[in-house]
Amino acid sequence: MTQFSLSRLGLAAVGLTFAMTALAADPRPAFTPPSAASLPDTEFGKIVRQGEQIFLHTPQMAGKFVGNDLNCASCHLDAGRRPDSAPMWAAYVLYPAYRAKNQHVNTLAERLQGCFRFSMNGKAPAADDPTLTALQTYMFWLASKAPTGVVLEGQGYRKLPAPAQKADYVRGSEVYAQYCAVCHGAEGQGQKQGKHWVFPALWGPDSFNWGAGMHQIGNAAGFIKANMPLGQAGMLNDQEAWDVAYFMNAHERPQDPRYAGSVAATRAKYHDSDDSLYGIEVNGHLLGSDSPAPGGKLIQAAAKPAG
């Protein structure tokens, strides 16, 4: 091969590297979902509205599957519309998808079943249950003008760079007391107005269980940084977001439904990551060792004597 040919190959390789770098640097496509006011007044629109109501009032609309008092909108803000709050329009276009969590390709219905089981501390509806049909229809409508198979701007939760200092319980408790307790309570118990939960519980028996994605410190930190305090998003710096996420997730919550009698074995199989505090000792307490049973209100209702 001649020197000229080698030079051309070298230039081509440089050009390919440059093109690949440019593609990697391209911003994710932006997308704005349709407004609530544009919901169609049709039979299809009726199911869309039903899905929206389930999303906003989950315990009331889908109570037989919900073990706590969270709504879908507790973690997916603005009825699943808000970017960097795991918006529904950005999720819809990426399924079916392989998930490392259960090591196989998940349909959207299976993904939603996991939300009920873990985030809602409840039980999974059947794949063809009207609840899942309505939720998927609502998600489809939100994403109806979006490109499919594309990671959109605002998808999932924001990915923060590693903190400058290791996330810290004491610093996190100070951030929590200053910015979070006014809404979520000094003990993370949330706030109710009558029977309606205005602000969700962040730990304890009324919160999400150890299998939920929000128990992962990175997810919690990204959500907090982009969305909290409510109405004052961006007030916290990255370090504060990491610290308060650590503090929040260093408290007991309902047990992982996959638990089979051993905290150590459950950690090894499902939580073997620096992103999870399950099975780690914090302030002298082994997290997961004193967790309420999963299922919450559903288990309590089943245990009540008939009549």
Instruction: Render pLDDT for 87-116 as a digit per residue (tens, 0 to 9).
Output: 999 999 999 999 999 999 999 999 999 999
Low-confidence ranges of the chain (pLDDT < 50): 1-25
Q: Give me the amino acid identity at 74.
A: S
19 in any annotated domain: no
Residues 181, 87, single domain; the answer is no
Query: What's the gap between Cα 281 and its chain centre?
Result: 24
CA–CA distance, 240 with 237 (Å, rounded to integer) = 5
Q: Are 171 and 221 in contact (CB under 8 A)?
A: no
In a domain, 160, yes or no: no
Q: Is the same domain home to 111 and 212?
A: no
For the chain, first and last CA: distance in Å? 90
Dihedral (CA of 57, 58, 63, 64) sign: positive
**Phi-psi sector, 279: left (phi>0), alpha (psi -120 to 50), beta:** left
- Same structural domain for residues 199 and 264? yes
Calpha distance 228→236 (Å, rounded): 8
Tokens of 290: 């004193």
pLDDT in tens, 1-43: 444 343 433 434 434 343 333 334 468 999 999 999 999 999 9
The predicted pLDDT at position 18 comes to 34
Judge whether 233 lies within some domain. Answer: yes
Helical axes 130-142 vs 43-56, angle rounded to 10°:
100
Query: Are 129 and 45 part of one and the same domain?
Result: yes
The strand pair at 285-286 and 281-282 is best described as antiparallel
Q: List C-alpha distances in Å: 88 to 186, 263, 268, 270, 295.
A: 31, 33, 31, 25, 25
Residues 176 and 282 in one domain: yes
Q: Residue 22: its pLDDT value, please?
A: 35
Q: DSSP H helical segments within 40-84, as ranges?
A: 43-56, 58-61, 77-80
Tokens of 21: 């770098």
**CATH code, domain with 105:** 1.10.760.10
Q: Can you tell me which residue has the tokens 């559903």?
A: 298
90 with 185, same domain?
A: no
Whether 29 maps to a domain, the answer reads no
| Whether residues 85 and 126 fall in one domain | yes
Q: Look at residue 306 in the predicted model and tell me its pLDDT.
A: 65
Instruction: Identify the pLDDT of residue 117.
Output: 98
pLDDT score for 220: 98
- 122 with 295: CB under 8 angstroms? yes
Whole-angstrom distance, CA of residue 225 vs CA of residue 51: 28
Identity at 258, one-letter amino acid code: R
Instruction: Tell me what pLDDT residue 12 has.
Output: 41
Q: Are residues 132 and 205 in the same domain?
A: no
Query: Does one domain contain both 173 and 283?
Result: yes
Residue 198 lies in a domain: yes
* Residue 74 pLDDT: 96
**Whether residue 112 sits in one domain with residue 177:** no
Question: Quick check: is 178 in a domain?
Answer: yes
- Are 186 and 77 found together in one domain? no
DSSP-assigned letter for residue 175: H
Residue 177 neighbours by CB distance under 10 Å: 13
Distance CA 19, CA 6 (A): 20
CB-based burial, 180-198: b 16+ in 10 Å, e otherwise: beeebeeebbbeeeeeebe
Residue 211 lies in a domain: yes
Strands (DSSP E) found in the chain: 97-99, 104-106, 191-193, 196-199, 281-282, 285-286
How far is residue 183's CA from residue 174's CA, in Å, rounded to a whole number? 15
What pLDDT, on a 0 to 100 scale, did the predictor assign at position 270? 97
What's the total number of domains in the chain? 2
In a shared domain, residues 88 and 191: no
Query: Which residue range is the domain that position 202 belongs to?
Result: 169-287
As a whole number, the mean pLDDT across the chain is 91
φ and ψ of 270, to 5 deg:
-120, -15
